[in-house]
């Protein structure tokens, strides 16, 4: 597996006005070698160095990023992040140091360089999810310190693409590309990627990430207002199409329901959402965890929770655990109903007041006499006191038939 390297920023902390180290420019990472079980075995990278005297350096990787405040005053930064040698720098507090990419130090003199660094043995164990940060560490005047932030390696993006199952024969519709972490990984594996983004501040950052990528297109619109069917038919003729998205909690259900309810020509939908939302998307109707969205997803698709990602897998770390769910679209709905709108209205009403019985919730939500609803539930073969989460898709269809 090759992880996607995001060069999020290039910082020479000392700048060209300090003698601590030579300035580095035009830093590029062209390939990262990470095994499927998360062991980093090396990378290819290059840079241009100019300015002052040569410096002895190593490239290290860690699971946490030094805070922005550390970079505002280089003197304070150096005094709080300097170590007496390479060995003592291997366990600095607060950064989750994982290991050296360059096992032996090298001299960073003026010039242009390209390196291929290979890590001995099994490599550095980083696991299979998370974001990791590369720093250039410099030895100067008896101390070792993290001098330059190179960029980050995002393992989550690769796992999301793995979960989607796309390859070079597929088209991908991405929702909410952000700065392009997942976008670039998708573009490397799929035939074409079309990303829909509503935030007008992000295209310049996305353009930087996707520079030189010719199988990518950005649509700057609200996904809930776009004619997705027309967009898919225009952009992906003759291709199987998958949808990938990293969805914020507040808009998860509206977007998922639009994608499924519009019966778009897509084969699957893979989303990263908060774990709480993922549990509902993947829950089977008739189980304690089921909800209205669970029933809707199961009506249109088969769903599976693929993997979870702890808060520490992201920077900055959110307060909640995230998870990825894949939904494979059914050729026909799971149950056959005559009035689909009425069927989903019934389900929404049933789950609209979870502390009530299905009879009470349906009667209240649909404005029906309670005795009529109880009679329909009993005629369908259920106890009048049954809770909505105990009803399957077929059970709701039976109750709907009896209500008519």
Q: What are the structure tokens assigned to 50, written together?
A: 């100019």
Mean pLDDT value of segment 17-32? 61
| Highest-confidence segment of 62-66, 174-178, 266-270 | 266-270
Q: What are the structure tokens assigned to 198, written together?
A: 């509503």
Q: Tens digits of per-residue pLDDT, 50-68?
A: 755 567 888 889 888 776 4
Q: What is the pLDDT of residue 3?
A: 43
pLDDT over 90 at 240, yes or no: yes
Neighbours of 340 (CB within 10 A): 12
Q: What are the structure tokens assigned to 196, written together?
A: 């829909």
pLDDT over 70 at 195, yes or no: yes
pLDDT over 80 at 259, yes or no: yes
pLDDT over 60 at 8, yes or no: no
* Contact by Cβ (8 Å): 181, 157: yes
Choose between 46 and 350: higher pLDDT: 350
* Contact by Cβ (8 Å): 123, 39: yes
> Residue 166, by phi and psi: left (phi above 0), alpha (psi -120 to 50) or beta?
beta
Q: Tens digits of per-residue pLDDT, 120-153?
A: 888 998 877 778 888 888 887 778 887 777 877 8
Q: What is the pLDDT of residue 318?
A: 62
Mean pLDDT value of segment 250-270? 95
Closest of 356, 331, 340 to residue 393, by C-alpha: 340
Q: What are the structure tokens assigned to 146, written together?
A: 């993290």
* Contact by Cβ (8 Å): 117, 31: no
pLDDT over 70 percentage in the chain:
86
Prediction pTM value: 0.76
Q: What is the pLDDT of residue 76?
A: 58
| Highest-confidence segment of 16-20, 79-83, 123-127, 373-377 | 373-377
pLDDT over 90 at 232, yes or no: yes
């Amino acid at each position: 597996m090759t992880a996607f390297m995001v060069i999020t920023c290039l910082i020479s902390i000392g700048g060209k006005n300090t003698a601590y180290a030579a300035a580095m420019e035009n830093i590029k990472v062209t390939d990262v070698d990470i095994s499927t079980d998360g062991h980093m075995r090396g990378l290819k990278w290059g840079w241009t160095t100019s300015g002052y005297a040569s410096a002895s350096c190593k490239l290290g990787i860690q699971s946490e990023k030094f805070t922005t405040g550390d970079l505002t005053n280089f003197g304070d930064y150096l005094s709080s992040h300097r170590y007496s040698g390479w060995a003592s720098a291997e366990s600095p507090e607060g950064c989750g140091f994982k290991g050296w990419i360059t096992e032996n130090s090298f001299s960073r003199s003026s010039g242009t360089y390209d390196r291929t660094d290979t890590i001995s043995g099994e490599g550095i164990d980083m696991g299979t999810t998370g974001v990791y940060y590369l720093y250039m560490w410099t030895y100067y005047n008896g101390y070792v310190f993290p001098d330059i932030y190179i960029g980050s390696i995002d393992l989550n993006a690769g796992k999301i693409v793995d979960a989607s199952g796309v390859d070079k024969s597929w088209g991908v519709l991405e929702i909410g590309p952000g700065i392009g972490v997942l976008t670039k990984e998708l573009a490397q594996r799929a035939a074409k990627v079309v990303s829909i983004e509503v935030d007008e501040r992000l295209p310049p950052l996305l353009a930087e990430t996707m520079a030189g990528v010719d199988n990518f297109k950005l649509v700057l619109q609200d996904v809930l207002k776009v004619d997705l069917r027309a967009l898919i038919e225009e952009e992906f003729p003759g291709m199987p199409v998958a949808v990938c998205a990293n969805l914020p909690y507040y808009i998860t259900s509206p977007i998922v329901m639009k994608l499924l309810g519009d019966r778009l020509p897509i084969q699957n939908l893979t989303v990263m959402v908060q774990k709480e939302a993922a549990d509902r998307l993947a829950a089977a109707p008739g189980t304690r965890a089921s909800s209205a969205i669970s029933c809707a997803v199961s009506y249109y698709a088969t769903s599976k929770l693929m993997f979870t990602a702890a808060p520490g897998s992201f920077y900055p770390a959110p307060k909640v655990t995230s998870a990825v769910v894949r939904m494979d679209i059914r050729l026909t709905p799971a149950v056959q109903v005559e009035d689909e709108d009425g069927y989903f209205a019934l389900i929404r009403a049933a789950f609209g007041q979870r502390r009530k019985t299905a009879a009470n919730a349906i009667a209240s939500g649909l404005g029906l006499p309670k005795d009529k609803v109880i009679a329909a539930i009993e005629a369908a073969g259920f106890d009048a006191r049954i809770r909505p989460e105990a009803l399957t898709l077929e059970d709701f269809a039976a109750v709907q038939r009896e209500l008519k």
